[in-house]
Amino acid sequence: MLTDYHLHLRPDEEGTTAERYFTAENVDRYLAAAAEAGVEELGVSEHVYRFRQALDLWRHPLWEENAQDDLDAYCEFVQGTPLRLGVECDFVPGAEEGTAELLGARDFDYVVGSVHFLGEQAVDHPGWDVWEHSADPDEVWRRYFEALADCARSGLFDILAHPDLVKVWGRDRPLPQGELRRFYEPAVEAIAESGIAVEVSTAGLRKPIGELYPARGFAELCVEAGVPFALSSDAHLPEHVGFAYESAVGYLDDLGVGEICVFERRERRLAPLGSRVG
Ligand SMILES: [Zn+2]
Ligand SMILES: [Zn+2]
């Protein structure tokens, strides 16, 4: 079994309207790409902040700008396709109750939980760059992994997205010195306690860091703690479906991981890890 659950039907740009991208033709392009990559389980997890309902959780200016679509219309559209229904939902500290309500009111197959923001600034978003406010990598990494631990502990999500996203810029931003385990350990402890699945994402290979999420040291701690893995590309285009899965499958094989998570109606089971065709 190969899955691709963390997937977007459109790029994160202006003009990528629901009318243009939430269409049967666009879904067909993703399904064709999945078939070619040998991905059997395909789901879509649109960013929550692109829906008006997200403004009940947070009124960050970036969200205000992007919250144009209706979440229920999205759910209805996806349910009329062969795709599993997911959503990528930011963990918003203090909005746990509202988040639980928003998620619980809809029939998602799974929810991908993400940390992109530390306070008002983001680790991966130019224009809201956390590094413009703090040049101290130890502080930024510590805060990021604390937020990740809180995200896991919230119990709101099924899959923890791009677990070490803070590294996204690679050498373009300051990096902490020495062993990174000191950042990973408390986060993995929270992850193991929470029971959330950790995403292995090939998206990092398309970013300046040029490596998979999470880093090997992080993944090894997850394996030791018995944390299950989910497999995704974080595609924003059909050609990214199953992107670089030979790397991800090899990585999981190397770690001794033989099973990945499959989701339906927020129930999880483990399936044997497949191999990429072609
Ligand atoms: Zn994300
Ligand atoms: Zn994403």
Q: What is the CA radius of gyration of the chain?
A: 17
Task: Give 158's DSSP letter.
Answer: S
Collapsed DSSP state (helix, strand, coil) of residue 267 = strand
Q: Which residues surround ligand 1, an ion (CB under 5 A)?
A: 114, 161
Of 233, 225, 230, which Cα lies nearest the Cα of 199? 230
Measured in angstroms, how far is the CA atom of residue 66 from the centroid of ligand 2? 15
**Do 116 and 122 touch, CB atoms closer than 8 A?**
yes
- d(CA 45, ligand 2 centre) in Å: 7
- In sequence order, what are the residues at sequence separation of 6 or more whose Cβ sits closer than 8 angstroms to the Cβ of residue 132? 121
- Cα-to-centroid distance, 262 and ligand 1 (Å): 19
Distance from Cα 161 to the centre of ligand 2, integer Å:
8
Residues with CB under 5 A from ligand 2 (ion): 88, 234
pLDDT bin (cut points 50, 70, 90) of residue 278 is very low
Among 58, 64, 145, smallest CA distance to 98 is for 58
**pLDDT band at 135, cuts 50/70/90?**
confident
Confidence of residue 196 (pLDDT cuts 50, 70, 90): very high
What are the tokens at 172?
A: 């373009």
d(CA 160, CA 168): 16
CB atoms within 10 A of CB 126: 8
- Residue-level pLDDT at 276: 62
Distance in Å, CA 264 to ligand 1 centroid: 21
Q: Give residue 242 CA to ligand 1 midpoint distance, Å.
A: 16
CA 226 to ligand 1 centroid distance, Å: 24
pLDDT in tens, 59-106: 999 999 999 999 999 999 999 999 999 999 999 999 999 999 999 999
Predicted TM-score (pTM) of this structure: 0.97
